[in-house]
């Protein structure tokens, strides 16, 4: 089941005209992914930081997006995340970003992440991440 996170659009997320700079949508996806997996790392607080403390990182290795409407500084983006595929070492999330107050779609796409160790070798996803995906009813790990 998709997880929704609201993210304020800050001036630093925009160009000189006050419109969101399109790569910032991918930053919002990472914010949404961290919120999605918050139950899996409740004691640690933050997914990416928890993984880093254990000697791992979860870089994006593939990303695609379609942009349909701009967001502006001062607005709130509503980010919906769902895990669509979960492999041994990777997971793919679908995302949709909309203007929170009006529900107007702004962007959608997918991002694939791979868990790697300090040598940048793929590593198995932790059981807590798989359990979180299972509990949310998304792609079976």
Q: What is the CATH number for 27?
A: 3.10.129.10
Q: Is residue 123 part of a domain?
A: yes
Instruction: Tell me, rounded to whole angstroms, the distance of Cα 51 from its chain centroid.
Output: 15
Task: State residue 120's pLDDT score.
Answer: 95
Q: Is residue 51 part of a domain?
A: yes
Task: State how far the Cα of 99 lies from the Cα of 67, in Å rounded to an integer.
Answer: 12
Q: How far is CA 65 from CA 82, 100, 120, in A?
A: 15, 19, 26
Q: Is residue 141 part of a domain?
A: no
Task: State residue 56's pLDDT score.
Answer: 94
Task: State residue 43's pLDDT score.
Answer: 62
Report angle CA 31, 62, 115 to the nearest 5 degrees. Answer: 70
Task: State residue 85's pLDDT score.
Answer: 96
Q: Is residue 62 part of a domain?
A: yes
Q: State the residue range of the domain holding 121.
A: 3-136
Classified as helix, coil or strand, 130 is helix
Q: Is 26 exposed, middle or buried (0-12, 13-18, 19+ CB in 10 A)?
A: middle
Q: Is residue 26 part of a domain?
A: yes
Q: Is residue 20 part of a domain?
A: yes
Q: Is residue 85 part of a domain?
A: yes
- The pTM score is 0.91
Task: State residue 115's pLDDT score.
Answer: 97
Task: State how far the Cα of 3 lies from the Cα of 81, in Å rounded to an integer.
Answer: 5
Query: 97: closest CA among 37, 13, 11, 38?
Result: 13
Q: Is residue 53 part of a domain?
A: yes
Instruction: List per-block mean pLDDT (blocks of 10 residues) for the chain, which spans 141 residues.
Output: 93 90 93 90 76 92 95 96 96 97 95 96 94 87 49
Give me the number of domains the chain comprises: 1
Query: 112: closest CA among 70, 62, 59?
Result: 62
Task: State residue 44's pLDDT score.
Answer: 62
Task: State residue 140's pLDDT score.
Answer: 56
DSSP code, position 42:
T
């Amino acid at each position: 089941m998709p997880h929704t996170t609201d993210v304020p659009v800050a001036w630093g997320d925009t160009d000189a005209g006050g419109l969101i700079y399109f790569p910032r949508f991918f930053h919002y996806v990472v914010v949404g992914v961290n919120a999605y997996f918050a139950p899996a790392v409740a004691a640690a607080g933050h997914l990416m930081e928890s993984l880093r403390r254990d000697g791992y990182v979860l870089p994006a290795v593939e990303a695609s997006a379609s942009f349909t409407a701009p967001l502006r500084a001062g607005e709130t983006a509503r980010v919906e995340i769902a895990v669509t595929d979960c492999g041994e070492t990777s997971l793919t999330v679908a995302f949709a970003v909309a203007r929170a107050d009006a529900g107007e779609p702004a962007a959608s796409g997918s991002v694939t992440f791979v868990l790697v160790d300090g040598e940048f070798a793929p590593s198995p996803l932790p059981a807590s991440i798989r359990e979180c995906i299972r509990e949310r009813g998304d792609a079976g790990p």
